[in-house]
A and B are shown apart, each in its own frame.
Chain A
Amino acid sequence: TAGITQAPTSQILAAGRSMTLRCTQDMRHNAMYWYRQDLGLGLRLIHYSNTAGTTGKGEVPDGYSVSRANTDDFPLTLASAVPSQTSVYFCASSDGGTPGETQYFGPGTRLLVL
C-alpha cells in the first residue's frame, strides 16, 4: 500500500499567494495531523483531525487552515503565505483508537516562501 502521499514534493511560492498542500492516506486511519519541521525547532503540530468532519488546532496554527471532508484526505491551506512559513511540512496519520499509538508520516513537502 502507498501509506501516506503528499503533494507537491516541493514548491517555491511568492509571499502573499495562497497554496494548498495535499495529503492522502490509504490506511483508513481516523486521525490525521499536519506538522512543520524547522531546523533547531523539531516537529511542531499545526492542525489535527481525530475523525472525518472534525479538526483541531495544534501548537502553531496561525496562518494555516485545514478541512477533513472524508477519511482519506486532509489538505492544509496557506491563505496568504509569508516567508516565515518556509519549512518542511509533514502529514501523518494514526488509527485513532488507542492513546500513544504509532504515527505514520508522509514524505514531506518542502516549501520556500519568497
Chain B
Amino acid sequence: SQKIEQNSEALNIQEGKTATLTCNYTNYSPAYLQWYRQDPGRGPVFLLLIRENEKEKRKERLKVTFDTTLKQSLFHITASQPADSATYLCALVGTGNQFYFGTGTSLTVIP
C-alpha cells in the first residue's frame, strides 16, 4: 500500500525566513499532489495543487515542487509570518480521484 511521510518533527523557524516542508511517498504514482493547511480545531483548507507533469507551482508566498523520480514534493513558504503557523498536509491524488493524506507537519513561525 502507499506510504506518505512528511517531516517527522515539528518545524520552528524565525519570522521572515523560508519554511520548507517535505512530503515523500512510496508505492504510488499520483496524478496530482495537493497541499492543505489545518489550524487547530478546524478542517483542512486547500492551498495548492500540482500535476505530475509540472515541476513547480507558485501562489503568492507559496511554492510547491513535485519530483516524480524522487517521489517527493517540497512546500515552501517565503517571508514566513506568525500567521503561517499551522499544520500542513500533503495529499496524493490518483487518476480515480482517490485521496491519500500524510500525517502533516506542524509549523511554528517565531516572531
Min CB–CB distance B98 → chain A (angstroms): 8
Find residues 69-111 in chain B having any chain A CB closer than 8 Å to their own CB. Answer: 89, 91, 93, 95-104
Q: Which one of B45, B51, B93, B101 contacts A42 once the chains associate, using CB atoms below 8 Å?
A: B101
State whether B45 touches A105 (Cβ < 8 A): yes
User: Given A100-B32, A100-B93, does the pair A40, B43 have CB atoms closer than 8 Å?
Assistant: no
Find residues 42-71 in chain B having any chain A CB closer than 8 Å to their own CB. Answer: 42-46, 49, 51
Task: Give the size category of B's interface with A.
Answer: 20 to 34
Is B22's beta carbon under 8 Å from chain A? no
Task: Give the size category of A's interface with B.
Answer: 20 to 34
User: Given A42-B89, A99-B32, does the pair A108, B42 have CB atoms closer than 8 Å?
Assistant: yes
Residues of chain B contacted by A43 (CB below 8 angstroms): 44, 89, 91, 101
Complex Cα spacing A52 to B100, Å? 23
Complex Cα spacing A40 to B106, Å? 12
Extra pairs beyond A42-B104, A101-B97, A105-B44 (20, CB < 8 Å) = A33-B99, A40-B103, A42-B89, A42-B101, A42-B103, A43-B44, A45-B98, A99-B31, A99-B93, A99-B95, A99-B96, A100-B34, A100-B51, A102-B34, A102-B49, A103-B44, A103-B99, A107-B43, A108-B42, A108-B43
